[in-house]
A and B are shown apart, each in its own frame.
Chain A
Amino acid sequence: MRAITFFTKLNILLQISSLLLPVTLLTGCWDRKELNDMAIITAAGIDKKTESTIELSVIVYIPKNAGVGEEMGGGNGGQGQQVLVRSAEGISIAEAISMLQQEFPRHLFWGHNEVFVIDEELARDEDLRPTIDFIMRHPQTRERSHIFISKQKVKNIFSLNPPLERDLAEVLRNLAGLKIGVDITLKDLAEMLIGESGTAALPYIDILSPPESQDKKQTIADIIGTAVLKNGKMIGSIDASTTRGLLWLRNEIELAVVTVKPDNTEGYVSMQLLRAYSRLIPKIENGKWKITMQAKTEDDLIQNGTTLNTGNPQTIHRLEQDLKADIDNKVKEALKQVQHEMNADIFGFAEAFHRAYPNVWKKYKQNWDDIFPTVEVTLETTAKIRRPGIVTEPGAYPEQEVKTE
């Protein structure tokens, strides 16, 4: 009985002290950061400023100007910008951040920064790995942030005023999400750089030229291709069309409309990709390193600009051949530029060989740069057109003009 009362007494004591503890600590609240005291960064970019310094630019959200619910009412969209761009110079990104902090009366908050843009000049001249290290090490930054290489100075790109989206960060994030080009997150980039070949591909962006009549700033940046990195430095870029070939090799193709020009007829036929899948099959035969890319795609016909009768299975078969040829051409183009000219294995050939021939790989690992350009690539593409839409014959041509073949 005595033990029980003793126990309850101590229990109460413990309970009370556990309740009182936070109260006494209220003065501390070491990590408390009020939202009002934070500058929320939505995008960050690095430019080369001088030979030894870089310039860090950030887009910061301004909650004040975003309007508070109904009081704003409608019709004053022009009232102030929602975001603010500021820059600071430093020898390293860490130093630039501390310089940048001096320009803000609020704590810089990196937890919602999902876009990093790196200027092409910097990427070409300097090793990006220290920068990546900083970004990875920072506890607030997100492993899912998207990384871009920009053709223009980042500062110029950030100063754009996108007409549709909240800010440029959202534009770039959404563009990456659409998978038009390669979509590389911070984690992917780090993984690629420590991978077998030490190469990486990053989306390459430029300012979309606005329509003549409009304000020069009322536009966005868009993805114009892919930047290729090797050993932490940018060594070249490929254009949007070649990027599609790259995506095929990397099995990352998702959203695409392919337009082909069939033989012996006027006009073009467009097809929409429904499903696409590719895989790399490595093979070493008599010391020859070979890769076979098997690709399969299923498409829907979405526009028929010719007089071909798409109700005819033979026509469909011919279109399938054209589609296949189109894919092959793009892949070959990508191989030509990246494999032969840049000698950068961004396709994942090294990993494929490693997986299939772990023992051989160990021996030739060091010589991969010499082997890679000589790898023979065979393409086995199959394209299927599943449905011609809900019309069979060309919609808007008179009956007699339709080729029945």
Chain B
Amino acid sequence: MIEKGKISAFQLALMMNPTIFATALLLVPAITAKHAEQDLWLSPIWAAISGLLTVYISCKLNKFYPEKSLIQYSEQILGKIAGKILGLIFLLYFLHLNGIIVREYGEFVVGTFLNTTPMNVVMGSMLLVCALAVYGGIEAIGRSSQIIVPVVSLLFLVMTLLLVKDLDPKKLLPVMENGIMPSFMGSIVPSAWFSEFILMAFVLPLLKDSGKAMKWGVLSVLSVMFLLVITNLSTYMLLGKLTIKDTYPVMVAVRYISIADFLEHLEAIVMAIWVSGTFIKISMFYYSTVLGMAQWLSLSDYRPIVLPIGFLILVLGHWAAPNLQSLAHFLGTSGAFYMLTLQLGIPVVLLCIAWIQQKFQQKKDGGQ
């Protein structure tokens, strides 16, 4: 094994939570509200289905090929050459996606906090910290997320509580004005994000207690869904239709907090949630890419390729889009299908083939 560290299923759940939630927190309300308007809080619930599906698939595949990652068993399922090609496609995809995530992070920071700081410095400094975590291995990422996630969740809840007095539940009415479709449409992009749970396929072989993987995976999906529903609800109850017009509605919502003229402008909270959540997210993708690449190239250690791949991610982040609008447009349109295909579609096909192979094998064994 290239990675010697082991983590628990609970740690995995804690790592996966911000992996989805961090980016979704800022962008989901605006994207879902565009289609679903006041029903936006339903969208994460539909979207979670794809998350559950992904968890199921990665757990099932892991059961067929324990101790193997996505890159390794796709070779086993499809044969040497096709498997290698698919592995490369996955790795390139994760590199590209990670570049996009890093860019999203950079766009947010530069757009709201540090307007004149060069984007590459913002993205590079984050990647450097992530590289440190990737060097530390899966255990380091797991433990850091055990420190970070509880704090971040607490901050998120505090933020929501502080907003309560400005919320107007009437804005959510009428429920399902145009039927279920708008909320369904609004769930396409979030469900693409939920399918990022496919990262579990890289980490599952490293579990100490893989028996609990399914349970904690499902709980992780549900916790993300719950947090997103709360986010969407509170944002829309505060901002109403303005949710659609803001780039980062949650950011605006938090800026709106004012308690006793003293607790106001708490952007720092959003910043803390976003930066630490994105850190875990980028580290997870980064780690999976590096580990997958090492497996693909049959290296004995993944550490020598950490920095080169980090540099590639930075470059891809730089090239991801010319500006925020085209990035958002990509994420809101073709990006969702791109992500769903690779993160949900191909794994489903892999699982089917693996299942058929297994059946075939059994029959052959039974026939003998």
A contacts, CB < 8 Å to B: 3, 6-7, 10-11, 14-15, 17-18, 21, 25, 28, 30-31, 111, 139, 142-144, 185, 187, 190-191, 194-195, 351, 354-356, 358
Does A7 lie within 8 Å of B242, measured CB to CB? no
CB distance from A262 to the nearest CB of B (A): 37
With A14-B128, A187-B242, A354-B174: A139-B115 Cβ-Cβ less than 8 Å: yes
Does B117 lie within 8 Å of A143, measured CB to CB? no
Cα distance A14–B130 in the bound complex, in angstroms: 11
Max chain B CB contacts within 10 Å: which of A25, A191, A195?
A: A191
Does B116 lie within 8 Å of A194, measured CB to CB? no
Tell me if B173 counts as interface (CB < 8 A to partner A).
yes
Cα distance A190–B303 in the bound complex, in angstroms: 52
Chain B hits for A14, CB < 8 A: 128, 131-132, 135
Does B125 lie within 8 Å of A144, measured CB to CB? no
Cα distance A17–B116 in the bound complex, in angstroms: 23
Tell me if B241 counts as interface (CB < 8 A to partner A).
yes
Query: Which residues of B216-252 are within 8 A (CB) of A?
Result: 238-242, 245, 252
With A14-B135, A31-B115, A31-B117: A144-B264 Cβ-Cβ less than 8 Å: yes
Does B125 lie within 8 Å of A21, measured CB to CB? yes
Does B111 lie within 8 Å of A139, measured CB to CB? yes
Chain A hits for B135, CB < 8 A: 7, 10-11, 14
A-B contact count (CB 8 A): 69
Does B242 lie within 8 Å of A30, measured CB to CB? no
CB distance from A184 to the nearest CB of B (A): 13
Does A191 lie within 8 Å of B241, measured CB to CB? yes
Does B174 lie within 8 Å of A358, measured CB to CB? yes
- A142 partner, pick from B111, B114, B265, beta carbons under 8 A: B265
Chain B hits for A351, CB < 8 A: 170
Does B301 lie within 8 Å of A31, measured CB to CB? no
- A30 partner, pick from B114, B252, B255, beta carbons under 8 A: B114
- B255 partner, pick from A6, A142, A354, beta carbons under 8 A: A142
CB distance from B291 to the nearest CB of A (A): 15
CB distance from A284 to the nearest CB of B (A): 14
Query: Which residues of B67-104 are within 8 A (CB) of A?
Result: none
Chain B hits for A185, CB < 8 A: 256
Does B242 lie within 8 Å of A25, measured CB to CB? no
Chain A hits for B209, CB < 8 A: none
Cα distance A6–B242 in the bound complex, in angstroms: 53
Chain A hits for B255, CB < 8 A: 142-144
CB distance from B309 to the nearest CB of A (A): 14
CB distance from B229 to the nearest CB of A (A): 21
Tell me if B361 counts as interface (CB < 8 A to partner A).
no
Complex: chain A residue closest to B4, CB-CB: A3
Cα distance A376–B162 in the bound complex, in angstroms: 39
With A190-B242, A358-B177: A18-B114 Cβ-Cβ less than 8 Å: no
Complex: chain B residue closest to A8, CB-CB: B135
Tell me if B129 counts as interface (CB < 8 A to partner A).
yes
Complex: chain B residue closest to A15, CB-CB: B132
Cα distance A101–B132 in the bound complex, in angstroms: 44
Tell me if B366 counts as interface (CB < 8 A to partner A).
no
With A7-B135, A14-B131, A354-B174: A191-B242 Cβ-Cβ less than 8 Å: yes
Query: Which residues of B240-281 are within 8 A (CB) of A?
Result: 240-242, 245, 252, 255-256, 258, 264-265
Complex: chain A residue closest to B137, CB-CB: A7
Chain A hits for B367, CB < 8 A: none
- B256 partner, pick from A17, A25, A144, beta carbons under 8 A: A144
Cα distance A185–B303 in the bound complex, in angstroms: 53
Given contacts A17-B128, A142-B255, 19 further A-B contacts (CB under 8 A): A11-B132, A11-B135, A14-B128, A14-B132, A14-B135, A25-B121, A30-B117, A31-B114, A139-B112, A143-B255, A143-B256, A190-B242, A191-B240, A195-B240, A195-B241, A351-B170, A355-B173, A355-B174, A356-B174
Chain B hits for A191, CB < 8 A: 239-242
Chain B hits for A144, CB < 8 A: 255-256, 258, 264
Tell me if B118 counts as interface (CB < 8 A to partner A).
yes
Chain A hits for B128, CB < 8 A: 14, 17-18, 21
CB distance from B196 to the nearest CB of A (A): 27
Cα distance A31–B115 in the bound complex, in angstroms: 7
Cα distance A262–B115 in the bound complex, in angstroms: 63
Does A187 lie within 8 Å of B252, measured CB to CB? yes
Chain A hits for B114, CB < 8 A: 30-31
Chain B hits for A30, CB < 8 A: 114, 116-118
Provide 22 A-B residue pairs closer than 8 Å at the C-beta atoms, listed in order of the A residue. A7-B135, A7-B303, A11-B135, A14-B128, A14-B131, A15-B132, A17-B128, A21-B128, A25-B121, A30-B117, A31-B113, A31-B114, A31-B115, A111-B265, A139-B115, A143-B252, A144-B255, A144-B258, A187-B238, A187-B239, A191-B240, A358-B177
Cα distance A355–B252 in the bound complex, in angstroms: 25
Cα distance A3–B303 in the bound complex, in angstroms: 9
Complex: chain A residue closest to B129, CB-CB: A18
Cα distance A139–B111 in the bound complex, in angstroms: 8
Does B132 lie within 8 Å of A18, measured CB to CB? yes
Cα distance A111–B115 in the bound complex, in angstroms: 14
CB distance from A195 to the nearest CB of B (A): 7
With A144-B258, A194-B241, A194-B242: A31-B303 Cβ-Cβ less than 8 Å: no
Complex: chain A residue closest to B122, CB-CB: A30
With A14-B135, A31-B116: A3-B301 Cβ-Cβ less than 8 Å: yes
Does B256 lie within 8 Å of A187, measured CB to CB? yes
Chain B hits for A18, CB < 8 A: 128-129, 132
Chain B hits for A142, CB < 8 A: 255, 265
Cα distance A11–B132 in the bound complex, in angstroms: 7
Cα distance A140–B174 in the bound complex, in angstroms: 34
Cα distance A10–B132 in the bound complex, in angstroms: 9
Cα distance A124–B122 in the bound complex, in angstroms: 46
Chain A hits for B242, CB < 8 A: 187, 190-191, 194
Cα distance A15–B131 in the bound complex, in angstroms: 11
Chain B hits for A11, CB < 8 A: 132, 135
Cα distance A15–B132 in the bound complex, in angstroms: 8
Cα distance A351–B172 in the bound complex, in angstroms: 11
Complex: chain B residue closest to A18, CB-CB: B128
Chain A hits for B240, CB < 8 A: 191, 195
Cα distance A191–B241 in the bound complex, in angstroms: 7
Cα distance A187–B242 in the bound complex, in angstroms: 8
Complex: chain A residue closest to B241, CB-CB: A194
The 7 closest A-B pairs by CB, nearest first: A355-B173, A358-B174, A30-B117, A358-B177, A30-B116, A31-B114, A191-B240
Cα distance A64–B265 in the bound complex, in angstroms: 26
